[in-house]
Structure 1
Amino acid sequence: MAEGLAGAGSDLVVVGREIETLTPVAEQIAAETGRNVLPIQADVSNLTEIDALVAQTVETFGRLDVLVNNAGVNIRNPALEFTEADWDFVTDVNLKGAFFLAKACGNVMQRQKSGKVINTLSLTSAIGLPTSIAYTAAKGGLLQLTKLLAVEWAEHNIQVNGIAPGFIRTEMTAPAREDNRNRWILNRTPADRWGEPEDLAGLTIFFASNASDFVTGQMVFVDGGFMAGSDWRRQS
């Protein structure tokens, strides 16, 4: 998603909890695209760090046009085994952090009279999948937050939308590719493959651009047809 935005002409701030991970990513994108890419270490579950992140962004670039709310964590356990600590860890990043980062960026965007907020949603924003109770609650809440902010901020020319990935090949989904869930996912996905991170770039660019100025409060699935249905002829 970051590579897509930079390739479309955006300067970037890339954010994460480990600067050792961020720095080479920023350097690679800058070298490939010629854009300014600033890595900032921050934990979005920490409100103080959110405020510092936004302040540094505006100080460096003079404005803030697009927020991609993509930080996410998950803990998998049956609902009856979920602890309070597990619940707080997942929802503090996926829902609380997403809201307060959007709020901090929204303050800047309102002064500019323009902005784009892109929330990373999930299949679980719409359906239930086992062993992800806190993640499901957070992503369902983030969908409603997307709609609410779209309504409240429309008068400030800020569009708020959500991208709901299907099963994407990332480090977080690696365990599912190594057990019996892999066959179920492929059988259930008409495209008959896992998504790749690059599959999310096009929609990200659309939501970040003027092409989406009359699109707000929407969730779009990027899922290879998962939510459309499944083909019984391919079931094993």
Structure 2
Amino acid sequence: MTDTNHYAAVGGKEYQKLFGIDGKVVCITGSSRGLGKALASCFGRLGGNIVLSSHNIKELTEAEAELEGQGTNVTAIRADVRSHDDCKALVRGTVDRFGQIDVMICNAGTDIIKPAHSYEEPEWDEIVDTNLRGYYYCAKFAAQAMLDQGGGSIIMTSSVASSLGIPGLAVYAASKGGVNQLTRTMAVEWADKGIRVNAVAPGFINNFMDGVHPNLDTPYQRRAMELTPMRRRGNLPEYFGPYIFLASPAASFVTGEILYVDGGYAAS
């Protein structure tokens, strides 16, 4: 816990520790590519001990080698977040490797864009099991470890679609709305146990879950830009600060919050 009186008295160099990540153990799901991989690289460069996780062994191995190349203390653990046992093993493996888990970033996600009336049952299961069930599993097991060690930070990757109606995202939006409520409820349950639970809700971002950049000159994409007051997508480095803040001592009195990082989309 951050002692604000201590910082006020010492000043200067001590204030730099407010956003300190050095030495923290950070586990990130969905981190073999995209936002998760970018966050892993960022936290690693700040001195964090990083656990990468994905169901894709090839991508996971490549990401691990890349982070090792930048000097990060990193290990990769293959896990499918839809599996209760895989999530349990992920947290156990993190603690076995580094002795603790300070930050769990639940980031693995998937989406299928189509009209609400046309989803098939397997598509619903794939999206909800990945985006909601997997978040619960990882947060649950991370919290069990954090309760034993006296606290930690859990950060969910939500979405602006969690609270706004965006055509074509019915199931994705439902899953992310669930993530918001999961975040708030767990935050209240564990607030007095030293565990903070928050979410970052991106708007439209230059990060595509299938790894392929789509044609941005479509009615869907143009509408997204029109509804974003900054008139552009967010770039990956613009998301580092919000996650670092929520993971750091600077956010010691912040829990149960949904932090929108969306170029003003939710405010418009």
TM-score of the two chains, using structure 2 as the length reference: 0.81
The yes-or-no answer on 1:92 pairing with 2:129 is: yes
What 5-or-longer segments of structure 2 have no aligned partner? Answer: 1-38
The yes-or-no answer on 1:15 pairing with 2:53 is: yes
The yes-or-no answer on 1:141 pairing with 2:178 is: yes
The yes-or-no answer on 1:175 pairing with 2:214 is: yes
Kindly state the Cα deviation for residue 118 of structure 1 after the two structures are TM-superposed. 0.3
Which of 196, 199, 202 is equivalent to 1:162?
199
Rounded to whole Å, the distance in 2 between the matches of 1:189 and 1:40 is: 37
Kindly state the Cα deviation for residue 176 of structure 1 after the two structures are TM-superposed. 6.0
SS of 1:152's partner is helix
Kindly state the Cα deviation for residue 82 of structure 1 after the two structures are TM-superposed. 1.6
1:42 corresponds to which residue? Answer: 79
Rounded to whole Å, the distance in 2 between the matches of 1:30 and 1:128 is: 41
1:56-87 Cα shifts (integer Å, max 9, x gaps) = 11110010010000000112222221222111
SS of 2:111's partner is coil
Rounded to whole Å, the distance in 1 between the matches of 2:129 and 2:234 is: 27
Which of 105, 108, 111 is equivalent to 1:71?
108
The yes-or-no answer on 1:212 pairing with 2:251 is: yes
The question of whether the paired residues in 1 share the 8 Å contact of 2:109 and 2:209 is answered with no
Higher mean displacement: 101-110 or 80-89? 80-89
Which of 65, 90, 93 is equivalent to 1:53?
90
RMSD of aligned Cα (Å):
1.4
- Structure 2 matches for 1:115-154, cutoff 5 A? 115-154=152-191
The question of whether the paired residues in 1 share the 8 Å contact of 2:88 and 2:137 is answered with no
Rounded to whole Å, the distance in 1 between the matches of 2:197 and 2:209 is: 26
Kindly state the Cα deviation for residue 217 of structure 1 after the two structures are TM-superposed. 0.2
Rounded to whole Å, the distance in 2 between the matches of 1:178 and 1:39 is: 37
1:12-48 Cα shifts (integer Å, max 9, x gaps) = 001111121122222222332x331111111000111
1:81 corresponds to which residue? Answer: 118
Rounded to whole Å, the distance in 2 between the matches of 1:87 and 1:184 is: 25
What 5-or-longer segments of structure 1 have no aligned partner? Answer: 230-236
Kindly state the Cα deviation for residue 178 of structure 1 after the two structures are TM-superposed. 4.3
The question of whether the paired residues in 2 share the 8 Å contact of 1:8 and 1:205 is answered with no
Amino acid at match of 1:135: Y
Amino acid at match of 1:122: S
Count of residue correspondences = 228
TM-score of the two chains, using structure 1 as the length reference: 0.92
Percent identity, aligned pairs only, is: 39
Rounded to whole Å, the distance in 1 between the matches of 2:163 and 2:192 is: 28
2:17 corresponds to which residue? Answer: none
1:160-189 Cα shifts (integer Å, max 9, x gaps) = 000000101122383362422222222222
